[in-house]
């Protein structure tokens, strides 16, 4: 099981703290250190709509020029943006065996996922 995100993100911190408090170990994939590959991101886009994966309320998105924002209209354009600016990805992404279990953090959802 893997958790994808960046360590200084508050939502990622909440997820990691929750997992730790429940003695659930996951491998952490830090986008800043390890980046993102097409092999990882492409399957996500097959499981979730691009607008669920791209955080359009975050600082990275808001910092994009308006022209660039308008170019993000489908999986291909979202993938290019996600690979270029990993901070635009909604975090964290909890994944097991290539399958997204949850995008973002929600204590109720995590409780259900882990049958707690």
Q: What is the mean pLDDT of each run of 10 residues along the chain (116 residues)?
A: 96 97 97 95 96 94 96 97 96 96 97 94
Q: The pTM is what?
A: 0.93
Token look-up 């998105």 returns: 61
Q: In this predicted structure, what is the pLDDT of residue 63?
A: 96
Helix (H, G, I), strand (E, B) or coil at 83: helix
Of the listed 1, 2, 9, 102, which one is catalytic? 9
% helix, strand, coil for the chain, step of 5: 50, 15, 30
b/e per residue, 39-63, with b = 16+ CB within 10 A? ebbeebbeeeebeebbbeeeeebee
Q: List the helix and strand counts (H, then E) for the chain.
A: 8, 4
If we measure between CA atoms, which residue out of 21, 5, 8 comes closest to residue 110? 21
Q: Give the number of other CB atoms < 10 A from CB of residue 23.
A: 6
Q: In this predicted structure, what is the pLDDT of residue 3?
A: 98
If we measure between CA atoms, which residue out of 2, 104, 95 comes closest to residue 55? 104
Q: In this predicted structure, what is the pLDDT of residue 16?
A: 98
Q: In this predicted structure, what is the pLDDT of residue 116?
A: 86
The domains of the chain, with CATH numbers, are 2-113 (3.40.30.10)
Q: In this predicted structure, what is the pLDDT of residue 57?
A: 92
Token look-up 């703290």 returns: 17
9 counts as catalytic: yes
């Amino acid at each position: 099981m893997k958790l994808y995100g960046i360590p200084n993100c508050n939502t990622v911190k909440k997820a990691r703290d929750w997992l730790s408090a429940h003695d659930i170990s996951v491998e952490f994939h830090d986008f800043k250190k390890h980046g993102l590959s097409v092999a990882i991101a492409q399957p996500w886009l097959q499981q979730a709509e691009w607008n669920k994966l791209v955080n359009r309320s975050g600082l990275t998105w808001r910092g994009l020029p308006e022209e660039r924002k308008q170019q993000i209209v489908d999986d291909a354009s979202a993938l290019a943006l996600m690979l270029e600016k990993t901070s635009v990805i909604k975090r964290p992404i909890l994944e097991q065996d290539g399958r997204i279990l949850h995008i973002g953090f929600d204590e109720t959802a995590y409780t259900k996922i882990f049958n707690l």
